[in-house]
A and B are shown apart, each in its own frame.
Chain A
Amino acid sequence: MRFTGALPNAAIFVALVAVAVVADRSGNPYIVTLATKVAIFGLAGVGLNLALGYGGLVSFGHAAFFGLGGYVTAILASHAASATPVATVPFTMMGTNEMLAIWPVALLVSGLAALVIGALSLRTTGVYFIMVTLAFAQMLYYFAVSWPAYGGEDGLSFYVRNSFPGANIFAPLQFFAICAAALGVTMILVALLTQSRFGLALRAAKQNEARVIASGVRPFALRLTAFVLSGMVAGLAGALFADLNRFVSPAMLSWHMSGEIMVFVILGGVGRLAGPIAGAAVFIALEYLLGPVSDHWQALLGLLLILIVLFAPGGLMGLALRGRHG
């Protein structure tokens, strides 16, 4: 990793942790919860960025994976609470309220979904790819709305946050630490991945597909791998988000969610490791600061986004690090 690239990314992560710790020490648990939200949305954004920023795959359907991760968590937790099996065929599967048991299931389910959706969507390119990923997410959304077993339109709540060995998950700072650790580990893995042969080939395929094919690499396999990994990270973020709220609803699967995750990535800076964290932080800070000032804060957010797209195409990190690459 180049030093110039690593430093700003690490700085953003450290700043987020510092905000949470200071807020906790000064008795502002609400700010800690906001920082937790930033970590979770940032994680979802880091996931999307893997496909979007490095692979050039503009997925408008990442809410599907985010929501699946959330639903896996809520379904397992609610079955654990009522002591009923999740499934009896092909084998009896009980619910659980251990995060360490839930996460692998969430990763597996969102990864499988990304494998199927990616394999079909990657047949198309450009606008068609954007729209077909959106269509798959909408399918899941409408399925969640109209399938009554897990709450349908009303969503599904569970009363106790899932547990993590050795942690008091009711203490806001400890739950933040779990989310931040997941984010930090993922960022390191993504950084290693993007510097690897795989990452270089992925970026090369984005820049010049014909040359990559000519050097004997199949872009489809590269892109599908990136899409699946990206979906899995979004699924993990969804699992954490469900635990934060102890509630999931079809809104987690909606196209608005996909749009918001995309906003975090673009606002922060496409293809920058910590960009989504910066993007999510600004988004949530605006919501927190402008919300009480005006009911119409989203209009101001919209104007800000338009200005960023028109005058700062590299996002916030691009603006801050003008002329430098990372």
Chain B
Amino acid sequence: MLLAEQVLNGLQYGMMLFLMAAGLTLVFGVMGLINLAHGSLYMAGAFACAAVAAATGSFWLGLAASLAAAAALGALVEVVVIRRLYARDHLDQVLATFALILVFSEGTRWLFGSFPLYLSLPPVLSGAVTLPGGLVYPAFRLAIIAIGALVAVGLFWLIGRTRLGIRIRAGEADREMIAALGVDIARLYTLVFALGAALAGLAGALVGSVQSVQVGMGEPVLILAFVTVVIGGIGSIKGALVGALLVGMTDTLGKALLPTFFAGFMEASAATSVGSALASMLIYVLMAVVLVVRPTGLYGARA
């Protein structure tokens, strides 16, 4: 029973990571850009949700605002800064987007202050649900899993079945050719970037509702999202989904099980510290192993 709960926690964590990683991997894959500021868009989504929910009293309006605000901010940043970086090497991209983090973090601190904000959940989702088998689980965490699954299905449909998806895949394969065929590549890139930003903003709002909304909340998630993208293979939505679930499960189950495992043959306090030390390193070990075996990730085609 405890294990089933941890598996659900891992699934929920994985779905949240997928929302982050999907945008990163699209931007990586289509534009060849490393965007360290993706975590700032996540933070922006969370703050927009908190501000609008506090002003209107409606969590749902806040959630819509997180999507809109992150997408708008993403589009703005893309037009002003990011699009000048596509032709640059990764080094310039890392530095410029690192600088964007500084600007966004300080900007947010200036607007909202340093104290964490808290969101209250709508009554429908604030309780717990009894699942078949008798497991009681928070409704909101189930909702995150459902939203993640919906977004995954939506993205596969968008990329695989729609005209926009065809253009995105074509832009990934041969930028000059689709520009020659009359596609406005600059607008396409802005659109892809805003789409990724919106997903990050949504993830930020959802996680901010469970935890707290504060400056710097995006950075740990950003690193995990990178790990996810690299494990899955850059540019692959499928890889992002598999990677996210793998990272979510490994982290959650590692933290739940490793201390118990070491307690089997060690003294209790030592087992807890060794177990938790190893558990927090586990996903990085996973990533290192995946990259040593498959240097371009599970579903990656190129470096």
Q: Which residues of A contact B (CB under 8 A)?
A: 52, 58, 60, 120, 123-128, 130-132, 134-136, 138-139, 142-143, 145-148, 255-256, 259, 262-263, 266, 270, 295-299, 301-306, 309-310, 313
Contact of A130 with B94 at beta-carbon distance under 8 Å, contacts A135-B227, A298-B102 already known = yes
Q: Chain A residues with Cβ under 8 A from B151's Cβ?
A: none
Binds A, one of B9-17, B56-64, B292-300: B292-300
Contacting pair A305 B280 (CB below 8 A): no
Which of B100, B284, B295 is in CB contact (< 8 Å) with A136?
B284
* A145 and B281 alpha carbons, distance in the complex (Å): 10
User: Considering only CB atoms, which chain B residue lies closest to A137 in the complex?
Assistant: B284
Q: Chain B residues with Cβ under 8 A from A58's Cβ?
A: 90-91, 94
Contacting pair B96 A309 (CB below 8 A): yes
Which of B81, B100, B292 is in CB contact (< 8 Å) with A123?
B292
* A145 and B284 alpha carbons, distance in the complex (Å): 15
Contacting pair B284 A139 (CB below 8 A): yes
Contacting pair B280 A266 (CB below 8 A): no
Q: Chain A residues with Cβ under 8 A from B229's Cβ?
A: 131
Binds A, one of B105-113, B115-123, B140-148: B105-113
- The reply to whether the CB of B223 lies closer than 8 angstroms to some CB of chain A is yes
User: Considering only CB atoms, which chain A residue lies closest to B290 in the complex?
Assistant: A132
* A142 and B227 alpha carbons, distance in the complex (Å): 15
Q: Chain B residues with Cβ under 8 A from A130's Cβ?
A: 34, 90, 94
CB distance from A290 to the nearest CB of B (A): 11
* A324 and B34 alpha carbons, distance in the complex (Å): 30
Q: Chain A residues with Cβ under 8 A from B36's Cβ?
A: 259
Contacting pair A303 B103 (CB below 8 A): yes
Q: Chain A residues with Cβ under 8 A from B273's Cβ?
A: 146-148
Looking at A127, A135, A304, the one whose CB has the most chain B CB atoms below 10 A away is: A127
Contact of A306 with B103 at beta-carbon distance under 8 Å, contacts A125-B303, A126-B303, A130-B90 already known = yes
Contacting pair B100 A302 (CB below 8 A): yes
* A165 and B88 alpha carbons, distance in the complex (Å): 48
- The reply to whether the CB of B98 lies closer than 8 angstroms to some CB of chain A is yes
* A310 and B107 alpha carbons, distance in the complex (Å): 21
* A125 and B284 alpha carbons, distance in the complex (Å): 18
Contacting pair A143 B277 (CB below 8 A): yes
User: Considering only CB atoms, which chain A residue lies closest to B28 in the complex?
Assistant: A127
Q: Chain A residues with Cβ under 8 A from B28's Cβ?
A: 127
Q: Chain B residues with Cβ under 8 A from A124's Cβ?
A: 291, 295-296, 303
- The reply to whether the CB of B155 lies closer than 8 angstroms to some CB of chain A is no
User: Considering only CB atoms, which chain A residue lies closest to B226 in the complex?
Assistant: A131
23 A-B pairs with CB atoms under 8 Å apart are A123-B291, A126-B303, A127-B34, A128-B234, A128-B291, A128-B295, A130-B34, A135-B227, A135-B284, A135-B287, A135-B288, A136-B288, A139-B285, A142-B280, A145-B280, A255-B223, A296-B110, A298-B106, A301-B99, A303-B103, A305-B96, A305-B98, A306-B100
